């Protein structure tokens, strides 16, 4: 299987009609005859820029002759050596292994300091050997480097796909052959390509190992990933972190167990509560008036506080075993708030059996000291819990380079207790498909290999720098518009470093800060991850007070989507973007310029038919409405209903449990439920999970009783959706029906 990793030559004489140019071209021709591509650069100039090619090359050949060293004066030689050092430093910052060769006609290794020489794979002295011999020497080192790139499973999968074996096993397309028998199948085959389809194989292929049994190349890759992520055990999961969470829970939680859960956890944790029959005790995070979810106060992690919550709970207080079985915390909220894991381990590591950190949005943190103690599992420099096993579940497809549904479970053993992997695998088998998608396994393998140091640190640092540069750019635009004009703000610390990412202390939350508005925050317990950027629109201030005019985020994000920019999450007056390792300067600069375009269109109140023609075609009622007018109409409705206070209050309101979530599910399965309108919900018990989008955080769990605050919000949604089609707030758990031409909303509640 041929890959395109050219040999890169950097020589000012590469195209010159002189003896030096002729010599390096002879070497290049000899390398080309061996099947390797050549890329030649004649501008020695800024060598550090060439270091960016390290991910695309098989090796570098760099000239150090007179043209590069100038006249040979001490000053010019020093500058040439400085450039060379910067080049090597740039390459090695990402890649310790790619071969670097120096070559010269007049200069030798005696002219090169030791700190440079020790980073080289060879020194070529021109004209002492034939071009063919030099080419073979270079190709040998380049081939050795490329052969060592692929991690275990991906290498085995490539070898299998390249063998062109006839398959008599599933899947039925037989390596893509079935698609070739149909016109639409031909289209599918051409779109995805031969390799993807040849690599889509059955678990019957022994040479690839077994994901379900963790054997063969799969096991080697999981062990390799565990080493890279500093975990004692690591398991790849091919159907997302929702499944990873359920695997962890079913391995340790059973019916009647008390569990401690972040109230704003992912819905997969609530599904796990339903499936296991657990008794949930919720820890309540803070929220600010922007609707941004903050941290759970540190005091709630105290064993005495948790015991008091259990004693006050109408169901948990009656449980036979009062000791919590698991604690699950969302470790990185949507907006990037992190917890100091070591402080949680020190407090609860001998009280709760299992500590589980849902790090779906934090797989990058293990690779940069900026996040020290702010992620679940570190190296030997971090202490182990006394008794509790530590689990982290990570979506490698969210912020690393996995493809969709790529996930992994990391485990750290306790001082006194080790994971029984055989028992754990029973839960793994319960939730895993017997037909896993091997491309996802391969992407888990590759996502881990890409983070091998020093590359992992370089990738994360680039994300951090791009994220902070974006914040600085947004501040610059704001300053140029001046205090009498409006612009968007990026939520975060008020002081930014002039360059770089600054100190991690700059991003720690403190109660003295007035930017987060989460109230009393213990110093050092929480930090904002800079790569999560929440952009705040005009219209709502930090105290939750509405301004006279405003730009609801639902309008802005629909505008951006029609202009080719799709964001991660939308709130009332904010939206959220992530600086993953795939984000580039071009991408975030496009965001800045598109926001400026929105501002211009808004200030001119241009009609929607010009700005959002696709949207207007679907909703012609907005054809003649101006962008500013539409924003003001929605803003006024938000203001009249004080929706900022309502959406904050409903998430922190006192929601009383009437029965276990599993019992409410049982009643739903047995059809002991009825469907009632929003107006009939007072005091009723929900049989369904109720989740508003935005923000996509579950508001109610099956078995909980509706209160007046939540009902008021649902009535507002009904009215809002009627008035502003196309901007509807979707609430999972509501059933929409047309009654006499008007939308009516229903909820399934338990028959008591």
Q: What angle is formed at CA 118 by the lines to CA 59 and CA 465, rounded to 5 degrees?
A: 65
Neighbours of 652 (CB within 10 A): 13
Question: pLDDT tens, 564-616?
Answer: 888 888 889 999 999 998 888 888 999 999 999 999 999 999 999 999 999 99
Task: Tell me which range, 193-207, 335-349, 727-741, is most confidently predicted by mean pLDDT.
Answer: 335-349
Q: How far is Cα 406 from Cα 398, in angstroms, rounded to an integer? A: 9
- Quote the pLDDT of residue 47: 65
**Residues in contact with 75: Cβ distance below 8 Å, sequence separation at least 6, in sequence order:** none
Average pLDDT over the chain, rounded to an integer: 91
- Quote the pLDDT of residue 23: 83
Q: How far is Cα 572 from Cα 713, in angstroms, rounded to an integer? A: 14
Neighbours of 146 (CB within 10 A): 15
Q: For the purposes of burial, counting CB atoms within 10 Å of the CB of 7, is it exposed (0-12), middle (13-18) or buried (19 or more)?
A: buried
Rounded to 10 deg, the angle between the 455-481 and 585-603 helix axes is 20
Question: pLDDT tens, 122-150?
Answer: 888 766 778 899 899 999 999 999 999 99
- Quote the pLDDT of residue 127: 67
Report the DSSP pairing between strands 389-395 and 354-358. Answer: parallel
Question: pLDDT tens, 240-273?
Answer: 999 999 999 999 999 999 999 999 999 999 999 9
Q: In Å, how far are 22, 26, 137, 588 from 19, measured between CA atoms? A: 5, 11, 21, 47
- Quote the pLDDT of residue 242: 95
Question: pLDDT tens, 185-234?
Answer: 999 999 998 888 888 887 767 788 899 999 999 999 999 999 999 999 99
| Whether the Cβ atoms of residue 199 and residue 160 lie closer than 8 Å to each other | yes
Q: Say yes or no to pLDDT of 104 above 80.
A: no
- Burial annotation 596-631 (CB, 10 A radius, 16+ → b, else e): eebbebbeeeebbeebbeebbeeeeebeebbbbebb
- Domains located in the chain, CATH noted: 7-147 (3.40.50.2300), 168-201 (no CATH), 206-452 (3.40.640.10), 457-640 (3.90.1150.10), 653-750 (3.90.100.10)
Which phi and psi (to 5°) does residue 731 adopt? -125, 110
Q: Say yes or no to pLDDT of 70 above 60.
A: no
| Whether the Cβ atoms of residue 34 and residue 6 lie closer than 8 Å to each other | no
- Quote the pLDDT of residue 106: 60
Q: Say yes or no to pLDDT of 48 above 80.
A: no
| 24-49 mean pLDDT | 82
Question: pLDDT tens, 456-465?
Answer: 999 999 999 9
Cis peptide upstream of residue 694 (ω within 30 degrees of 0)? yes
Q: Is the pTM of this model over 0.85?
A: yes
Q: What region, left, alpha or beta, does residue 292 occupy, with left being phi > 0 and alpha being psi -120 to 50 degrees?
A: beta
pLDDT band at 305, cuts 50/70/90? very high
| Whether the Cβ atoms of residue 222 and residue 235 lie closer than 8 Å to each other | yes
- Token pair listed for 696: 């996509």
The DSSP 8-state label assigned to residue 97 in this structure reads S
- Quote the pLDDT of residue 152: 94
- Quote the pLDDT of residue 542: 78
Closest CA to 226 of 397, 338, 366: 366
Closest CA to 708 of 660, 642, 638, 649: 649
Report the DSSP pairing between strands 407-412 and 389-395. Answer: antiparallel
Half-sphere exposure of 662 (CA within 13 A, CB side): 15
């Amino acid at each position: 299987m041929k890959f395109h990793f050219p040999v890169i030559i950097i020589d000012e004489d590469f195209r010159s009609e002189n003896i030096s140019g002729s010599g390096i071209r002879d070497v290049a021709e000899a390398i080309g005859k061996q099947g390797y591509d050549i890329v030649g650069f004649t501008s020695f100039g800024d060598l550090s820029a060439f270091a960016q090619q390290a991910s695309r090359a098989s090796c570098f050949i760099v000239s150090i002759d007179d043209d590069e060293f100038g006249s040979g004066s001490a000053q010019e030689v020093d500058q040439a050596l400085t450039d060379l050092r910067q080049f090597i430093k740039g390459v090695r910052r990402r890649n310790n292994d790619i071969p670097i060769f120096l070559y010269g006609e007049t200069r030798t290794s005696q002219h090169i300091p030791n700190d440079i020489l020790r980073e080289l794979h060879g020194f070529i002295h021109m004209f002492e050997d034939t071009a063919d011999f030099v080419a073979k020497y270079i190709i040998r080192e380049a081939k050795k480097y490329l052969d060592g790139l692929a991690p275990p499973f991906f290498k085995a999968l490539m070898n299998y796909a390249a063998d062109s074996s006839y398959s008599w096993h599933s899947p039925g397309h037989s390596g893509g052959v079935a698609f070739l028998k149909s016109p639409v199948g031909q289209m599918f085959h051409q779109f995805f390509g031969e390799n993807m389809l040849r690599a889509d194989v059955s678990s019957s292929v022994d040479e690839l190992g077994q994901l379900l049994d963790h054997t063969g190349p799969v096991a080697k890759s999981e062990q390799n990933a565990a080493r890279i992520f500093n975990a004692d055990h690591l398991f790849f999961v091919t159907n997302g972190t929702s499944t990873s969470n359920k695997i962890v829970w079913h391995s340790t939680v059973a019916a009647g167990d008390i569990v401690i859960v972040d109230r704003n956890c992912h819905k997969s944790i609530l599904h796990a509560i339903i499936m296991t029959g657990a008794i949930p005790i919720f820890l309540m995070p803070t929220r600010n008036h922007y609707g941004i979810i903050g941290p759970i106060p540190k005091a709630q992690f105290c064993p005495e506080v948790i015991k008091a919550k259990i004693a006050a709970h109408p169901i948990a207080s009656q449980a036979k075993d009062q000791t919590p079985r698991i604690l699950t915390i969302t470790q990185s909220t949507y907006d990037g708030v992190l917890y100091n894991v070591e402080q949680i381990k020190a407090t609860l590591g001998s009280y709760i059996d299992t500590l589980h950190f849902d790090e779906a949005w934090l797989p990058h943190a293990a690779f940069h000291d900026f996040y020290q103690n702010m992620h679940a599992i570190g190296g030997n420099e971090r202490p182990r819990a006394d008794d509790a096993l530590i689990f982290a579940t990570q979506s490698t497809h969210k912020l690393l380079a996995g493809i969709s549904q790529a996930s992994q479970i990391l485990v750290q053993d306790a001082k006194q207790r080790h994971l029984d992997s055989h028992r754990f695998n029973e839960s793994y088998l319960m939730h895993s498909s017997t037909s896993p998608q091997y491309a996802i396994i391969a992407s888990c393998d590759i996502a881990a290999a890409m983070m091998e140091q020093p590359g992992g640190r370089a990738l994360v640092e680039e994300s951090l720098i791009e994220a902070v540069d974006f914040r600085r750019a947004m501040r610059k635009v704001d300053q140029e518009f001046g205090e009498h004009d409006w612009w968007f703000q990026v939520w975060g610390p008020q002081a930014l470093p002039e360059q770089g990412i600054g100190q991690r202390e700059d991003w720690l939350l403190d109660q003295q800060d007035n930017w987060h508005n989460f109230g009393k925050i213990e110093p050092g317990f929480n930090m904002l991850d800079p790569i999560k950027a929440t952009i705040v629109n005009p219209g709502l201030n930090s105290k939750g007070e509405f301004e006279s005019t405003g730009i609801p985020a639902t309008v802005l994000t629909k505008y951006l989507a029609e202009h080719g920019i799709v964001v991660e999450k939308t709130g009332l007056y904010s939206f959220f973007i992530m600086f993953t390792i795939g984000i580039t300067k071009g991408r975030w600069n496009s965001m800045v310029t598109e926001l400026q375009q929105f501002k211009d269109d808004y200030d001119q109140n241009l009609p929607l038919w010009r700005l959002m023609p696709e949207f207007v075609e679907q909703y012609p009622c907005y054809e003649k409405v101006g962008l500013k007018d539409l924003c003001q109409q929605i803003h006024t409705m938000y203001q009249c209903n004080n929706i900022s206070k309502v959406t904050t209050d409903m998430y922190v309101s006192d929601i009383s449990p009437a029965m276990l979530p599993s019992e409410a599910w049982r009643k739903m399965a047995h059809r002991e439920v009825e469907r009632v309108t929003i107006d009939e919900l007072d005091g009723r018990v929900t049989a369904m999970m109720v989740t508003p989008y935005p923000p996509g955080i579950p508001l109610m769990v099956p078995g909980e009783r509706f209160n007046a605050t939540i009902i008021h919000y649902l009535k507002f949604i009904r009215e809002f959706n009627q008035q502003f089609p196309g901007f509807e707030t979707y609430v999972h758990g509501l059933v929409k029906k047309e009654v006499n031409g008007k939308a009516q909303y229903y909820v399934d509640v338990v028959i008591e």
